[in-house]
Amino acid sequence: MEKVTIATVAQRAGVSRQTVSNVINTPDVVREETRERVREAITELGYRVNQAARQMRTGRSRLIAVRIEPARDGINGSVLDRFLHGLTDAAGLAGYRVMLYTAADDNDEIATYDELLSAYDLDAFVLTSTHHGDPRTSWLAARSVPFVTFGRPWGAPDTHSWVDIDNAAGTADATRHLLAAGHQRIGFLGWPAGSGVGDARREGWHRAFGPWGVSAATTDGVESGAVAARSLLTNDEPPSALVCASDSLALGALQAARELGCDCAVVGFDDTAVAQAIGLTSVSQPLAEAAARCMGLLAELLDGRAPSVPTTVLLPPSLVLRQTA
């Protein structure tokens, strides 16, 4: 199999290189008859644009990068996994490819941006795990590198486009579901104040249930969840249901309830494998859609047809009902 270049196609179709290029990139400037002839030649020869050559001329690689993190806490690991799958799919449909990288911390990540941009001419980045005082967004913005974050810019103005899950709506839904099921005292088991995601999840419960509920805050994890739940459940007026900020905490709560022999409904968050395995009712994030929206926003930015004001997308999660609530 010989190498098929744009020149091969041009010869076959009896036109010049540039005409073939025009058929591919700006078809409307080529006469219909010629266009068809070139298209036939392309399929007959199985021609495909050589990205490296195109990139050298245009400076664009049709490559976007995203960081892959180790499954930190174990339970919540697969969330990113599902997002990645969705992003790869969406990127493929839009004619882009996804490149992975790892980084130890924010500064390491910024160094990687620098390297990826100058060595590979990356077109854009998708950032995950945004947090307060995130240095990554300002670095990218200062160099006007296109990017989108999955996760809103906590504590900063909306100077870039982002996609996020409406965490508060998720816990509010869960709480309303429990209220409708007749629960009178619904508690919340969450993380210490300060993390944007955690605060939002608490806020949703608070909004739906009002200022009366009991709540506890602890670091994430099954063990600490069990400890915190135990103290809530041995109160004078123990809750009959618990909304939790994660499936890990929820699992801990379930263990505490079983130990104490009390019947307490439990709802988790993230709809992880653990929830599916043990029948835990949980709030599920629409990760595939989030990924698709991220890609959509990036495509807008890269095509230069993005509105001057950043777009923000907030997706509602859904409650997956199982045995525990």
Partner DNA sequence: TCCTAGGTCTTGAACGATCAAATTCTGATA
Partner DNA sequence: TATCAGAATTTGATCGTTCAAGACCTAGGA
CA distance 177 to 281: 11
Radius of gyration of the chain (CA): 25
Q: Which stretch binds DNA (CB under 7 A): 24-32, 138-146, 208-216, 241-249?
A: 24-32
Is residue 115 a contact point for DNA (CB under 7 A)?
no
Assess contact for 159 and 141: CB atoms under 8 A.
yes
Which backbone phi and psi does 162 adopt, to 5 degrees?
-150, 165
Is residue 5 a contact point for DNA (CB under 7 A)?
yes
Is residue 30 a contact point for DNA (CB under 7 A)?
yes
Give the one residue of 21, 161, 285, 324 binding DNA; rule: CB under 7 A: 21
The residue count for binding DNA (CB under 7 A) is 29
Q: Which stretch binds its own copies (CB under 8 A): 11-19, 26-34, 35-43, 82-90?
A: 82-90
- Binding mask 61-80 toward its own copies (x if CB under 8 A, else -) reads x-x----xxxx--xx-xx-x
* Helical spans, DSSP H, in 94-134: 106-120
Cα 134-156-105 angle, rounded to 5 deg: 5
Is residue 6 a contact point for DNA (CB under 7 A)?
yes
* Helical spans, DSSP H, in the chain: 6-13, 17-25, 32-45, 51-58, 78-93, 106-120, 135-142, 167-180, 196-209, 222-233, 247-260, 273-278, 287-303
Residues that bind DNA (CB under 7 A): 3, 5-7, 14-22, 24-25, 29-31, 33-35, 47, 49-50, 53-54, 56-58
Residues that bind its own copies (CB under 8 A): 4, 46, 48-53, 55-56, 61, 63, 68-71, 74-75, 77-78, 80-82, 84-85, 88-89, 92, 97-102, 115-116, 118-121, 222, 248, 251, 272-274, 276-278
